[in-house]
Amino acid sequence: MAIQTIGVIGAGQMGNGIAHVLALAEYNVLLTDISQEALDSALEIIRNNMERQVSRDKISQADMDAGLNRITSTLTLTDLGKTDLVIEAATERETVKQAIFDELLPHLQPHTILTSNTSSISITRLASRTDRPEKFMGFHFMNPVPVMQLVELIRGIATDTETFDACMEVVEKIKKTSATAEDFPGFIVNRILMPMINEAVYTLYEGVGNVKSIDQSMRLGANHPMGPLELADFIGLDTCLAIMNVLHEGLADTKYRPCPLLTKYVEAGWLGRKTGRGFYDYRGETPVPTR
């Protein structure tokens, strides 16, 4: 089946990035969110990011104009029923994702493939609650989507080969590289990355080092492009905590226990860059460590 029209659920950081790369790859994209403000903001971000690509000669002005023309938006979730592929990129809460699928399912075409951009939730469990577990899989983009080259493809226990091949073809068309992951908590990237971030928070919590020394040590001592606490702020501390909880509950191993300090920051609403404060305070001209 040739995929031509793709629906993207969620116009946040991940959703607008996914819409961006799909449109440049000549897919018609229908983007939805519960807020017109979120949709307007997403389209503005996509335009700004494409303008940056034009200024750096990554794409042409014609590519940008054509890409923007391929993106339409709607506040009505069920409008996505007419698409060939749906990529859900809503918040990382299973109850929210399930409610979205429940509303959308009766309106889907028989051939429509349903996917989730979840970074850690069981694909098999999400698929089992739909009418098409064989046409359901994980389609996990990395953040920021226009820059990062990897996409994790995760098959549920019932995902058929035709569905997997169709999603692989999309990854190839958007000129990214796919990694096939088995359906275990966290998949590959977050199974490795999140415990490292959580351990960095424990290192801060136990007073082994402060924010600056921890991030500096990993940037200069391990050649990481960003320190783990800086990266956590970029991802969102609420997202990091949610993934650690999935790992802890799904694998029942104490090594995945979220650091109490991470929980405290989330409870305070200090979620990182998106709220202006996390392990760094972003409200001034330059980020300042909060510990």
172 labeled binding residue: no
Nearest-angstrom CA–CA distance, 183 and 270: 31
Under DSSP, is residue 138 helix (H, G, I), strand (E, B) or coil?
strand
143 labeled binding residue: yes
Q: Which of 16, 49, 120, 190 is catalytic?
A: 190
Going by C-beta distance under 8 Å and a sequence separation of 6 or more, which residues neighbour residue 50?
20, 24, 59, 64, 67, 68
Q: Which of 16, 116, 122, 140 is catalytic?
A: 140
73 is catalytic: no
152 is catalytic: yes
Q: Which of 49, 94, 117, 152 is catalytic?
A: 152
Q: Which residue has the tokens 């088995």?
A: 182
Going by C-beta distance under 8 Å and a sequence separation of 6 or more, which residues neighbour residue 62?
none
Nearest-angstrom CA–CA distance, 270 and 233: 9
Q: Which of 119, 120, 122, 198 is catalytic?
A: 119
186 labeled binding residue: no
20 is catalytic: no
Both tokens of 137, joined, read 């899989």
61 labeled binding residue: no
14 labeled binding residue: yes
- Residue 4 neighbours by CB distance under 10 Å: 11
Nearest-angstrom CA–CA distance, 80 and 112: 10
Burial 269-287 (b: 16+ CB within 10 A, else e): ebbbbbbebbbbebeeeeb
245 labeled binding residue: no
222 labeled binding residue: no
Both tokens of 95, joined, read 């109850």
13 labeled binding residue: yes
From 8, 43, 221, 204, select the one nearest 116 (Cα to Cα).
8
DSSP string, 28-93: EEEEE-S-HHHHHHHHHHHHHHHHHHHHTTSS-HHHHHHHHHTEEEES-GGGGGGSSEEEE---S-
249 is catalytic: no
Contact 247, 186 (CB under 8 A): yes
List residues with catalytic annotation. 119, 140, 152, 190
User: Residues marked as binding?
Assistant: 10-15, 33, 92, 97, 119, 143, 274
User: Residues marked as binding for NAD(+)?
Assistant: 10-15, 33, 92, 97, 119, 143, 274
